[in-house]
Structure 1
Amino acid sequence: MSRPGGRRAIALAGAATLAVATALLTAPPASSAGTVTATCKKGSDWGTGFDGSCTITNGTGSSVGSWKLEADLPSGTSIGNVWNATKTVSGNHYTFSNAGWNGTIAAGASASFGFGGSGSGWFTGCTINGASCDGSGTPQDDTEAPSAPSGLKSTGKTATSVTLSWSASTDNVGVTGYDVYNGSTKATSVTGTGATIGGLSAKTAYTFTVKAKDAAGNTSPASAAVPVTTAEGGGDNPTAGNKIVGYFAEWGVYQRNYHVKNIETSGSAGKLTHINYAFGNVQGGKCTVGDSYADYEKAYTADQSVDGVADTWDQPLRGSFNQLRKLKKLHPNLKIIWSFGGWTWSGGFGQAAQNPAAFAESCYNLVEDPRWADVFDGIDIDWEYPNACGLSCDTSGPNALKNVLSALRSKFGSSNLVTAAITADASDGGKMDVTDYAGGAEYVDWYNPMTYDYFGAWDAQGPTAPHSPLTSYPGIPHAGFNTTDTISKLKAKGVPANKLLVGIGFYGRGWTGVTQSEPGGTATGAAPGTYEAGIEDYKVLKSKCPATGTFAGTAYAKCGSEWWSYDTPSTIQGKMGFAKDQGLGGAFFWELTGDTPGGELITAMRSGLG
């Protein structure tokens, strides 16, 4: 499985020789308790230039929605490059405002920005959001109200709730939050540019507006009103499905020591509707075996076996295939699908697309091999970048995936399942726009859009971002990289909602060298992981780096210099609610080994879908 988009690279260059730390402010005095403060210092000073940074700390009891630091520099000293902030200059007066993604600072948290300068001087007269940077004194007299929020719209609704979003307001000092009104009644107050209003009645018309406010208590005019009528029913979409599809990685039997028996002992088998066995390979235009030893040769002892019976040296089928056969005997309604491709082996589909009928014939003959025909109930195609670039580049054309799926359906018939894992890249002109996914949907039982791995430490310097955001947010590093946009775009293209499953990652993505607790911080590289840098199983992270907050519908955590994002049982419940509200066919996840021994995450999925 893979991230939905290409890698970005951010390079920040700096020069330093003599390290002379010069503080604008030392520790804030006792009078700063309950205020927003800022501390700026030089990192290095080589006489004719320097680099430095400023850290804004929210000492209040509530979130701050934006920040603005102002200061003066003496003649002959200037600031050039700035990162993690925007800069405006009037004479010797400098104003630094938050970037789009780091304006909100939670209570007790901090945000930072850096810069490079020339000359030998330093800041004087520092203020943060109009008050002295050290927390002393009182804010300047601010009588200017923020601008009215614009672009208010409904981004989702159920029978009992409405989700709204809008564009940020501007202010001469800084917007601290927004009040959302249901008619003339204040429904909620938030610091971001989105809110969900609950406690509503089914099939009822409501009118919503939003007002911005600043630290001085000034309130903006109301936004334009948006009318919304809630859905019918009791909050659940009656067309929603309850499929739960889990990937079993064939290589898990090695270093991870995860076997089919673990699916049973964890209690997960009874909660799954389908297992995708990953992966078969695609070579020479044909489906081929990925790992024969793990698949059907490995001998299991009695204590390793699903039913407690050891394999014999002469039995016709061993390995994971035989264990899956035993698992199906315990759970007759459980379906097993053989997945082919994946990120590493998707490059083979280009040749397969040149002769779809021959490819489908080879796949059918392999999946229906008499040795294991009773094990599998269909085929899953994990072609992750048709007519686009991923690990390699494919130029097979916009109809290639549709043609392959059509040939597979024709060969496998209506009694077998045909499914496909597909891109989650909903950006303009991205992977979703270069392939006919709507045409292909005619031939599949469902699609698995990979709504995770949107962001990760392949962007080594950040910004830190949740790898599986449910919704977009101001300053998101790449527009269209979130679950809501992915599902909305596929539906808009004509893919039926009940043929879409929402994807969950049973792991986290992480960075190291991070100082900021909230998303949007800078980093120095990928955080260490058990098997690969930048990625770690949920079962490890829940103890190693417990979640400290939620953002855009998923969780994040900071422990030491490491920053991780991952889904928890609570955020999974929210995503299952989204799947039901959208009328989706259910959910799937990558992959079984990331869950706890007791199946904590899959339990949340099952309880969330019902």
Structure 2
Amino acid sequence: MSRPGGRRATALVGVATLAVASTLLSAPPASSAEAVTASCTKTSDWGSGFQGNCTITNGTGAGISSWKIEGDLPSGTSIGSVWDANKAVSGDHYTFTNVGWNGSLAAGKTVSFGFGGTGPGWFTGCKINGSPCDGSGEPEIDTQAPTAPGNLHSTGKSATTVALSWNASTDNVGVTGYDVYNGGTKAATVTGTGVTVTGLTPKTAYDFTVKARDKAGNVSPASAPVSVTTDEGGGTGPGTGDKVIGYFAQWGIYQRGYHVKNIDTSGSAAKLTHINYAFGNVQGGRCTIGDSYADYDKAYQAGESVDGVADTWDQPLRGNFNQLRKLKKKYPNLKVLFSFGGWTWSGGFTEAAKNPAAFADSCYKLVEDPRWADVFDGIDIDWEYPNACGLSCDTSGKDAFKNLLGAVRAKFGTGNLVTAAITADASEGGKMDATDYGGAAQYVDWYNPMTYDYFGGWDAKGPTAPHSPLTRYDRIPHEGFNTADTIGKLKRLGVPANKLLIGIGFYGRGWTGVTEEAPGGTATGPAGGTYEAGIEDYKVLKNKCPANKTIAGTAYAKCGSDWWSYDTPATIRGKMAWAKGEGLGGSFFWELSGDTTGGELITAIKNGLG
């Protein structure tokens, strides 16, 4: 699990001696108001070299999915380092393209990339997506309508709602939106390929169709209709609203000394509905074991074992898997999922996306291995992040995640759980826009949007901010980085509310060198932590730096020059009340070892959900 925030640029080496405003073009003419334009500027120049920045502006009324800037540099001038863009060079001609995660640009929005170079010259002949950078090109008249949306189907329903998803239409210029019809009445207009239609009557049949529109107003033929009957009398479909899901990190048995037995002795096992075992690896397009010693080989002594019985040298299964088997025997209603990927091991999903069926087959064989098939009740996919950047960058395409989950569901069938941990980045053009999360929702029992790690000490200078804000607030560093916006956007994309869980971090994020008590202050770096700078378990922070204030539904405190934010039992109760009001399927958290020995935080989750 990891932060869903934006990519951090790598600083260039060198000290600028003279800041200049040498631009590639002057203020765009009036025609650029209906065009995609670009402006490139030298932000600093020290004679032998320079640092520059290009900003792309989408002045059209429709979103774009990619961009490309071209230009020529005179002999003796070149560009070396580039960040937030790909670079291609042919002689003196330079081409810069988006890196995948920053290609989607909504109408009226901007995106930038930077670079460093040598020599005294500057660009000529600038083009953006094949047209002049100043937007002076004449627009063509568009009379071609988009194709009809395909594969319209329901991904979930309740007594008063129906969630729909469909395949994207194509257009010679670009689709700008979709109109969803309930019979002959327009029920919704959306930009994505999914929607939840609300305000329906229980136990009633409805016929839905969808039409696509482009910027010129051309409308596609209607999709094939789909008929859906709502549930009877306020049913909520597959979501019950009471799921409590905790991640158990396999490496916790080492430094942290946290074992499966601790889930029982803390009282957490009695409050959990599911455990996500983290993590299996993804290598060569396949699911693989992440730590064989911790998973199934470590011999447990009687005092460490769930049932007080020591492992023997010749028993067929030991380690965490055997301890989980014992825990499930003690708590028969407890379900366990094997989670694959995570921040460190998500890089393997790029290869897996090339052959989803082979990936799904490898995962099924591993999860259902005869040695531990009874331990696991399904699979959790934690891909950080499809068609976007996390620890590494992926460019598998917007449909890759949906295709992969479709293959996993087909292989695991309806008798196993299939879930996924997903981004919480609800910003315009952010990670959520890079992937068809609405379309993929049909294949999962629920999503775990990682509604924490929005902000943290990786931004060493700050500004300080709560890492898990429930709502936006004045001076929030990044719009769309809060739980309410995350859940709201996923609903608009067509994900049913009962397939969404609210995420809670059992830890805090902090900075040091802070002088301002309120959020928004500057810092000198991440605060010290037991295992990693900038992060600390709740069980430590509650005594080390007791929270005395709240903002946006999350607690924070300044202790000396350190500034920490984290959730407490009180703020968790508030978040659970909010989740119930939104009709969510429950809550999940990262991860079990961060709680107190008496399980303060999980108790707040359980009691809050009721």
1:603 counterpart residue number: 603
The letter for the 2-side match of 1:518 is A
Change (3 A) 1:370 1:275: same
Q: 1:406 and 2:409 equivalent? A: no
Distance in 2 between the 1:420 and 1:383 partners? 8
2:459 maps to amino acid: D
Report matched runs for 1:12-411 at 5 Å. Answer: 241-411=241-411
What is the rounded CA distance, in whole Å, between the counterparts of 1:391 and 1:559 in structure 2? Answer: 31
CA 358–546 in structure 1, closer or farther in 2 if over 3 Å, else same = same
CA distance in 2, matches of 1:607, 1:275: 18
State the Cα distance separating 1:484 from its structure 2 match.
Answer: 0.2
- Counterpart CA distance in 1 for 2:379 and 2:240 is 23
**Cα pair 1:237 1:581 within 8 Å, conserved:** no
- Indicate the residue corresponding to 2:570 in structure 1: 570
Shift of 1:516: 1.1
Identical positions, percent: 80
Task: Answer yes or no: is the 8 Å Cα contact 2:239–2:499 preserved in 1.
Answer: no
Matched, 1:554 2:590: no
Map of 1:511 onto structure 2: 511
Partner of 1:84: none
Cα displacement (A) at 1:238: 13
Aligned to 1:592: 592
Give matches, 1:498-537, under 5 Å.
498-537=498-537
- For the pair shown, the structure with the greater C-alpha radius of gyration is 1
**CA separation in 2, counterparts of 1:470 and 1:438?**
22
CA distance in 1, matches of 2:239, 2:311: 44
Alpha-carbon contact 2:302-2:311 (below 8 Å) kept: yes
Please tell me the root mean square deviation across aligned C-alpha atoms, in Å: 1.9
Alignment partners' CA distance in 1, 2:478 and 2:487: 16
Please tell me whether the aligned partners of residues 237 and 498 of structure 2 are also in contact (alpha carbons under 8 angstroms): no
Once residues 378 and 445 of structure 2 are traced to their aligned partners in structure 1, the CA distance between those partners, rounded to angstroms, is 10
2:554 is aligned with what amino acid?
Answer: T
CA 1:497–1:603: 2 relative to 1, 3 Å: same
Shift of 1:8: 4.5
TM-aligned CA deviation for residue 237 of structure 1: 13
1-structure distance, mates of 2:576, 2:354: 38
| 2:442 aligned residue | 442
1:410-442: per-residue Cα shift (whole Å, max 9, x none)? 000100000000000000000000100011100
Contact 1:473-1:552 at 8 Å conserved across structures = yes
Q: TM-score, normalised by structure 2?
A: 0.62
Structure 1 residues 525-582: Cα deviation after superposition (integer angstroms, max 9, x where no partner): 0000000000000000000000010000000011110000000000000110111000
Matched-pair contact (CA < 8 Å) for 2:6–2:430: no
Inter-CA distance 441–237: structure 2 relative to 1 (3 Å threshold)? closer
Counterpart AA for 1:461: K
Residue 601 of structure 1: how far off its partner (Å):
0.1
5+ long unaligned stretches in structure 2? 16-232
SS of residue in 2 equivalent to 1:558: strand
Matches of 1:298 and 1:557, distance apart in 2 = 40
SS in structure 1 opposite 2:443?
coil
Tell me how far 1:588 sits from its aligned partner: 0.1
CA distance in 2, matches of 1:313, 1:586: 41
Q: CA deviation at 1:587?
A: 0.4
- 1:518 deviates by 1.1
| C-alpha contact (below 8 Å) 1:284/1:352 kept by paired residues | yes
How far apart, in 2, do the equivalents of 1:493 and 1:441 lie?
10
Listed one character per residue, the Cα deviations across residues 257-277 of structure 1 (whole Å, up to 9, x for unaligned) are 000000000000000000000
Letter in 2 for 1:589: F
Query: Does the 8 A contact of 2:338 with 2:376 survive in 1?
Result: yes
DSSP-derived class of the 1:442 partner: helix
CA contact (8 A) 1:269 1:331 kept: yes
For residues 390 and 408 of structure 1, the distance between their equivalents in structure 2, rounded to whole angstroms, comes to 22
CA apart distance, 1:474: 1.5
- The structural deviation recorded for 1:384 is 1.5
Q: Could you report, residue by residue, the CA deviation over 1:449-486 in whole angstroms, capped at 9, with x for unpaired residues? A: 00000000111111100000000012210000000000
**1:6 positional shift:** 2.2
Alpha-carbon distance in structure 1 between the residues aligned to 2:259 and 2:455: 30
Q: Which residue identity does 2:326 align to in structure 1?
A: K
| 1:500-536 deviation digits (Å, cap 9, x = unpaired) | 0000000000000011111111110000000000000
What is the CA–CA distance in structure 2 between the aligned matches of 1:568 and 1:451, rounded to whole Å?
A: 15
- Shift of residue 5, structure 1, vs aligned partner: 1.6
C-alpha change, 1:266 and 1:279, in structure 2 (3 Å) is same
Which whole-Å CA distance do the structure 2 matches of 1:328 and 1:240 have between them?
21
Q: Paired residue for 2:427?
A: 427
SS at match of 1:523: coil
Provide the rounded CA distance (Å) in 2 between the counterparts of 1:381 and 1:305: 28
- Counterpart-to-counterpart distance in 2, 1:299 and 1:399: 43
Q: Secondary structure at the match of 1:415?
A: coil
Q: Please report how far the alpha carbon of residue 7 of structure 1 lies from its aligned counterpart in structure 2 after TM superposition.
A: 4.4
Q: Any idea what SS the aligned residue of 2:607 has?
A: helix
TM-score, with structure 1 as normaliser: 0.62
Partner-residue secondary structure (3-state), 1:278? strand
CA contact (8 A) 2:238 2:445 kept: no
**Amino acid of the structure 1 residue aligned with 2:314:** D
Is the 1:7–1:459 Cα contact (8 Å) retained in structure 2?
Answer: no
Q: Closer, same or farther in 2 for the Cα pair 1:238/1:350, shift >3 Å? A: closer
Which SS does the other structure have where 1:359 is aligned?
Answer: helix
| Inter-partner Cα distance in structure 2 for 1:275 and 1:342 | 15
Amino acid at match of 1:278: A
Q: Quick one: distance in 2 between partners of 1:444 and 1:394? A: 22
Segments of 5+ residues of structure 1 without an aligned counterpart are 16-232
